[in-house]
Amino acid sequence: MMTVRRIGIFGGTFNPIHNGHLLIAEAAREEYGLERVIFVPASHPPHKQRSDVAPNSWRYDMVRLAVADNPFFFVSDVELLRSGPSYTVDTLRYFHEVYQGQAEFYFIMGTDTLLDLPTWKYADELIALTHFLSALRPRYRTDLSMLTAKFGQQTQEKIHFLHTPEMEISATDLRQRFATGRSTRYLLPVAVQEYILANHIYR
Ligand code: ATP
């Protein structure tokens, strides 16, 4: 019998990528036996203000630097090359094609994103295309009633919670730290930190 390939997809703005992202991706990989985790930086995030988002090429480079030392981690520019807003459903359709129906997908996210899920474009199609792995995030409590109202039975079958420590790291806080010259040590990979400082990204 053929074992199903399990592929992790991690979408985000990654503005910048930080240790919170890396830790939940690694936890997801280990806990769900994922063959690999593909980080997919978003181009035009529909829910975020464009003005404070660093250019695509910088965010792509930062993810590339962050994942370089993990043989299970990859980065895809599929959303950066697509014109118009990035919808996760298009990305999942794309990866289903790439793997020719031979893989199961596990979309990695924090609880803040999970609670937004019912409002996403084509959410019903999306939940048919992927499982969701959610890491708890401080201050976001998990009231699953909205999810159950929208997705019914599929909520239990397709939405899972990771066993990761909750981490108070956010890209918003990191951007503020870089802007004001405060310490960012241990919050993101050294190579990413150096890249941000060398290119004056958040100053
Ligand atoms: P920002 O502060 O700019 O909103 P962010 O830190 O939330 O950014 P994103 O790139 O928007 O980073 O996050 C991508 C995904 O990673 C989202 O699903 C988000 O919930 C999740 N995530 C980010 N940081 C954490 C964290 N510390 N713990 C758990 N999940 C996280």
Count of structural domains, the chain: 1
Residue of 21, 43, 63, 174 with the most ligand 1 atoms within 8 Å of its CB, for mutation:
21
In a domain, 101, yes or no: yes
In a domain, 142, yes or no: yes
Asked, for residue 44, whether it belongs to a domain, the answer is: yes
How far does the centroid of ligand 1 lie from the alpha carbon of residue 163, in Å?
16
Tokens of 95: 């990866």
For residue 40, how far is the Cα from the chain centroid? 7
Specify whether the CB–CB gap between 131 and 158 falls below 8 A: yes
The atom number, within ligand 1, closest to the CA of 166 reads 28
Range of the domain at 92: 5-167
- Alpha-carbon separation of residue 159 from 111, 130, 151, 162 (angstroms): 11, 9, 10, 10
How high is the pLDDT of residue 47? 61
Q: Which residues of the chain have pLDDT under 70?
A: 1-2, 44-50, 142
CATH number for position 114: 3.40.50.620
pLDDT value of residue 137: 80
* C-beta of 70 in contact with ligand 1 (< 6 A): no
Which of 71, 79, 70 has the alpha carbon at shortest distance from 19? Answer: 70
Cα first-last separation, the chain:
55
Angle, vertex CA 162, rays to CA 156 and CA 165, nearest 5: 145
In a domain, 200, yes or no: no
Residue of 137, 188, 201 with the most ligand 1 atoms within 8 Å of its CB, for mutation: 137
Return the half-sphere exposure (C-beta side, CA atoms, 13 A cut-off) of residue 156: 2
CA 168–ligand 1 middle distance (angstroms): 10
| Alpha-carbon separation of residue 153 from 92, 102, 127, 182 (angstroms) | 21, 24, 11, 46
pLDDT at 49: 60
Residues 107 and 95: their CA atoms lie apart, in Å, by: 11
Atom of ligand 1 nearest to the CA of 109: 18
Tell which atom from ligand 1 comes closest to the C-alpha of 112: 20
Closest ligand 1 atom to 173 CA: 2
Is 76 among the domain residues? yes
pLDDT of residue 1: 59
- Written in H, E and C, the secondary structure of the chain is CCCCEEEEEEEECCCCCCHHHHHHHHHHHHHHCCCEEEEEECCCCCCCCHHHCCCHHHHHHHHHHHHCCCCCEEECCHHHHCCCCCCHHHHHHHHHHHCCCCEEEEEEEEHHHHHHHHHCCCHHHHHHHCEEEEECECCECCCCHHHHHHHCCHHHHHEEECCCCCCCCCHHHHHHHHHHCCCCCCCCCHHHHHHHHHHCCCC
Q: Please give the number of the atom of ligand 1 that sits closest to the Cα of 108.
A: 18
Q: What separation in Å is there between the alpha carbon of 1 and the centre of ligand 1?
A: 38
Res 134: pLDDT:
95
Residue 146 lies in a domain: yes
- Residue 75 inside a domain? The answer is yes
Distance in Å, CA 199 to ligand 1 centroid: 23
At 158 the pLDDT is 96
Q: What is residue 146's predicted lDDT score, i.e. its pLDDT?
A: 87
Residue located nearest, by CA, to atom 19 of ligand 1: 110
> Looking at the domain assignment, is residue 172 inside a domain?
no
pTM: 0.95
